[in-house]
């Protein structure tokens, strides 16, 4: 299993009484491309943060790629995330004052020291395969268009050759045209690298690209009910 | 990569970063400048006179006597009669004396009337005697020996004729035009007020203040005897008699005289300056505190702007300590840049102000500011900057631990 959650309960530290997530069991097989669907603000991002190890559940087991995140130290989780998980957000994917190459290299710098680094792709070749014109490589990413920025974000997410790619509303800031281009670039790369993809969005029109469609309501029991 | 992020992040916030860098530069400038000038002034003061056992003048404050006889600052309240000088000079304990007669000036430089003994006995620094780079000591009345700076600034060389005037203003109306003096010697630089002094024989000085009628009665002006002198330096046969001779002079019956030990008077002077010096140091410390607080404020404001950057770095796998160190590194870079700017500015200012300070207050500065004391101060500034940056660094650390909204 790529992801396996058992009896997971999570509440924010600021409001420990309000359970945000309550998951009896949920799992994703390796290589699956899962579309997690649900309206904004129901806790999709919280779920993704639990799986990436940014948040820790108060109870239950969280296993990712066969490793128990809930028993790791926070330093171990940070390292695990750097080495095994790629992330693409809706916005603010890049450090605005660094250029595309630097942004990609930055992600690489946190996973340095792993054996996979030797055959890791170069930032330049990734940008090339994502059709980003060479003239934009050395510009601060703040001046790039949203579509260009999201393509750099994919390259950044792929630099460490992660087994798991998490995409949190990555197309919601794009227009229809760029949205289609984004998916047309992303899906073959996911396939090519044989990654597990967890893609969260409120936009049901994207569902056709995925092998599995998972309504968020079925993952987490409605805590308020 | 770490350093590159810090540098690019700072360049991205140029305005506030340059402001706080300038604040650090000013703090360094003030701290180092005061420390440097203090040190140099202390050294320069302590080395103005040596080898003189007692300085004798009319009764006044000991500091006043030291200031006008050695530093040529201020004016004597009264003179010593020639007879009293002779009486003391001829006593058994006294090995040598150097008479000093002040009050005239030439182009803003003080004129000192003295005897050839001056070149023999007066020394400075670590018992270094005066040396002539050119010519010889004066022998007859209308000859003059110049301090190195006088010769350099006014462009005089051996054989030049100069006119002396009364008083210490550079444009004086009462030019003693009748009596030109010939430059016979130029002293090597000493870093003391000697450099700014025009040395003439007592007889020459007396002559320009005498009526033509009096001079006409003489066969040679070299026979002139001054009626009084301003002060004199005194060397003893035995140091053991210093305090006894000092007591005798202080109790001199015919006129009110006083004798001071140069070392004691110098340290008294320094103690007085010391209070002032501590106040300056305290103020410069406050300037430093203000500068590093400004640095802290700039970085603290940046933490707010960098919300997205923080969560992004966390997602990429950066531990919270990475962000803590990133802010500290930024503080370090700002302070080092400010420091270089401040040191360079100070060096440049000292270089430019050097001549002015030397001529106006007789302070000789070495523009090399990177002494051990200077390095200590820079370490202090770095430490202060890192401590001030710890506040925003801790803020970003705790934010990195708890904030995940993107």
As a whole number, the mean pLDDT across chain A is 89
Residue pairs spanning A and B at CB distance below 8 A: 64
B309 touches chain A (CB under 8 A): yes
Interface of A with B in 144-173 (CB under 8 A): 168
Q: Check residue B190 and give its pLDDT.
A: 84
Q: Check residue B167 and give its pLDDT.
A: 45
Q: Check residue B366 and give its pLDDT.
A: 74
| Lowest-confidence segment of B12-21, B41-50, B264-273 by average pLDDT | B41-50
Q: Check residue B208 and give its pLDDT.
A: 81
What's the pLDDT tens digit per position in B308-355? 899 999 999 999 999 999 999 999 999 999 999 999 999 999 888 887
Q: Choose among A164, A160, A156: nearest CA to A196.
A: A164
Could A105 and B5 be called an inter-chain contact, meaning their C-beta atoms sit closer than 8 Å?
Answer: no
Q: Check residue A97 and give its pLDDT.
A: 93
> Rounded to two decimals, what is the model's pTM?
0.76
Max intra-chain CA distance, chain A: 53
Say yes or no to pLDDT of A7 above 90.
Answer: yes
pLDDT over 90 percentage in chain B: 51
Contact residues, chain B, for A92 at CB < 8 Å: 308, 311-312, 406
What's the pLDDT tens digit per position in B194-224? 988 999 999 888 888 777 777 777 777 777 8
Could B404 and A49 be called an inter-chain contact, meaning their C-beta atoms sit closer than 8 Å?
Answer: yes
Q: Check residue B168 and give its pLDDT.
A: 45
Nearest to B319 among A49, A75, A98 (CB): A75
B240 touches chain A (CB under 8 A): no
Nearest to B308 among A75, A83, A92 (CB): A92
- Top pLDDT among B8 and B179 is at B8
Say yes or no to pLDDT of A22 above 80.
Answer: yes
Could A89 and B406 be called an inter-chain contact, meaning their C-beta atoms sit closer than 8 Å?
Answer: yes
Q: Choose among B190, B198, B102: nearest CA to B143.
A: B198
């Amino acid at each position: 299993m790529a992801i396996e959650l058992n009896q997971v309960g999570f509440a924010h530290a600021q409001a420990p009484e309000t359970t945000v997530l309550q998951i009896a069991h949920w799992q994703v097989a390796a290589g699956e491309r899962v579309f997690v669907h649900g309206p904004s603000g129901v806790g999709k991002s919280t779920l993704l943060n639990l799986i990436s190890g940014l948040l820790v559940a108060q109870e239950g087991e969280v296993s990712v790629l066969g490793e128990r995140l809930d028993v790791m130290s926070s330093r171990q989780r940070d390292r695990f995330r750097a080495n095994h998980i790629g992330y693409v957000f809706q916005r603010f994917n890049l450090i605005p004052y660094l250029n595309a190459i630097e942004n990609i290299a930055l992600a690489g710098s946190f996973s340095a020291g792993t054996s996979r680094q030797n055959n890791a792709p170069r930032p330049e070749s990734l940008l090339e395969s994502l059709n980003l014109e060479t003239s934009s490589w050395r510009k601060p990413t703040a001046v790039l268009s949203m579509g260009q920025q999201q393509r750099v974000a994919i390259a950044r997410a792929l630099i460490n050759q992660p087994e798991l790619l998490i995409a949190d509303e990555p197309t919601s800031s794009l227009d229809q045209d760029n949205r289609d281009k984004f998916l047309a670039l992303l899906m073959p790369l996911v396939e090519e690298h044989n990654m597990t993809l967890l893609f969260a969005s409120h936009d049901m029109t994207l569902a056709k690209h995925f092998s599995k469609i998972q309504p968020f309501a079925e993952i987490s029991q409605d805590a308020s009910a | 990569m770490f350093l590159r992020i810090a540098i690019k992040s700072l360049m991205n916030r140029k305005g506030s970063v340059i402001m706080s860098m300038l604040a650090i530069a000013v703090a360094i400038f003030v701290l180092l400048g005061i420390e440097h000038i203090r040190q140099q002034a202390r050294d320069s003061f302590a080395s103005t006179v040596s080898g003189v056992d007692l300085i004798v003048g009319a009764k006044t404050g000991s500091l006043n006597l030291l200031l006008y006889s050695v530093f040529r600052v201020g004016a004597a309240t009264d003179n010593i009669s020639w007879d009293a000088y002779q009486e003391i000079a001829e006593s058994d304990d006294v090995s040598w004396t150097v008479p000093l007669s002040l009050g005239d000036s030439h182009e803003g430089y003080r004129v000192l009337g003295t005897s050839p003994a001056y070149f023999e006995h007066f020394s400075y620094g670590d018992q270094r005697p005066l040396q002539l780079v050119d010519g010889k000591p004066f022998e007859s009345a209308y000859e003059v020996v110049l301090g190195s700076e006088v010769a350099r600034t006014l462009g005089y060389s051996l054989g030049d004729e100069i006119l002396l005037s009364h008083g210490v203003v550079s444009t004086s109306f009462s030019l003693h035009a009748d009596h030109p003096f010939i430059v016979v010697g130029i002293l090597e630089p000493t870093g003391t007020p000697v450099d700014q002094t025009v040395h003439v024989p007592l007889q020459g000085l007396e002559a320009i203040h005498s009526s033509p009628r009096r001079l006409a009665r003489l066969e040679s002006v070299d026979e002139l005897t001054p009626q009084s002198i301003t002060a004199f330096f005194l060397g003893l046969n035995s140091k053991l008699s210093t305090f006894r001779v000092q007591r005798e002079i202080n109790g001199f019956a015919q006129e009110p005289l006083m004798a001071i030990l140069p070392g004691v008077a110098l340290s008294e002077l320094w103690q007085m300056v010391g209070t002032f010096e501590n106040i300056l140091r305290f103020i410069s410390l406050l300037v430093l505190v203000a500068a590093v607080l400004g640095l802290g404020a700039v970085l603290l404001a940046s933490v707010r702007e960098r919300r997205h950057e923080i969560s992004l770095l966390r997602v990429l796998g950066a531990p919270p300590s990475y962000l803590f160190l990133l802010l500290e590194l930024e503080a370090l870079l700002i302070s080092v840049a400010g420091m270089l700017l401040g040191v360079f500015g100070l060096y440049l200012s000292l270089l430019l102000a050097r001549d002015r300070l030397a001529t106006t207050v007789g302070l000789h500065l070495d523009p090399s500011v990177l002494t051990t004391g200077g390095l200590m101060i820079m370490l202090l500034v770095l430490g202060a900057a890192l401590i001030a940056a710890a506040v925003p660094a801790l803020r970003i650390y705790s934010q990195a631990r708890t904030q995940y909204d993107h």
